Amino acid sequence: MSSQHVPQATAERLPLYYRTLQHLVTIGKTRISSSEFGNLVQIDSTTIRKDFSYFGALGRKGYGYDTQHLMEFLRKTLYQDELSKVVLIGVGHLGTALLNHNFQKNNNTKIVRAYDVDPKKIGTEISGTEICAMDELAGADNHDITAAILTVPAAHAQEAADLALASGIRGFLNFSPTTLSLPSNVYVRHVDMTVELQALIYFLNHAMEQRNSQ
């Protein structure tokens, strides 16, 4: 990745760009303009050009972007040439669904272990992933694990994160509806589906009100 600082909002859009480019390359699309690309990903073309400008000259004026070249660049930028191993903490309904899915459309990410407190689940497997006891987490050597996915109740999320941190994990995807208190060198992404749904409802109703007022 370029040494130039890349804004968080830009970094968050890169996986969407990469996935779209994968599809374009698959269907034989060899080049695309920023306006065409914007229509596909539903992002303003000016924003796309600015996002790509952080990484140097990725396109050419009057030509657009070479989809194969851009896809390969983003694959390296997003470290998709490496296998990212993650663990899952909390094998409830959501955790079970994630294990059954286990990033089937992304061969570069894999849930390698799961942890839970239910003795009926410990020692079993879901879609080939072993479920271990939570008591084993803190003593495990997870320094080779990229991140932990937290799908535990909010009341137990901090404790689970602390155990994972003690095992060497420094990245978290938190589905628990609570804020975690972790060191500054730990990266956390919160996925609160209630908040996302409330935002969606707001935008839908706001758009409807605007149409009705015209």
94 is in an annotated binding site: yes
Does 3.40.50.720 match the CATH number of domain 88-194? yes
Residue 122 confidence (pLDDT): 96
Size (the chain), residues:
214
According to CATH, the topology of domain 8-77 is: Arc Repressor Mutant, subunit A (1.10.10)
66-70, 101-105, 149-153, 180-184: least confidently modelled range:
101-105
93 is in an annotated binding site: yes
Answer with the residue of higher pLDDT: 102 or 94: 94
Residue 103 gets the label, from left (phi > 0), alpha (psi -120 to 50) or beta, of left
d(CA 74, CA 112): 25
d(CA 138, CA 158): 13
pTM score: 0.75
168 is in an annotated binding site: no
Mapping DSSP to helix (H, G, I), strand (E, B) and coil, where does residue 142 land? coil
Taking each helix axis as running N to C, give the angle between helix 8-26 and helix 67-77, from 0 to 180 degrees, rounded to the nearest 10.
130
95 is in an annotated binding site: yes
| Strand pairing class (129-133; 147-150) | unpaired
Domain boundaries, the chain: 8-77, 88-194
For 159-212, the pLDDT digits (tens) are 999 999 999 999 999 999 899 999 999 999 998 888 778 888 887 887 788 788
182 is in an annotated binding site: no
Would the CATH topology of 8-77 be identical to that of 88-194? no
Tokens 């932990």 belong to 148
**pLDDT over 50 (residue 43):** yes
Q: Which of 119, 114, 68 has the alpha carbon at shortest distance from 95?
A: 114
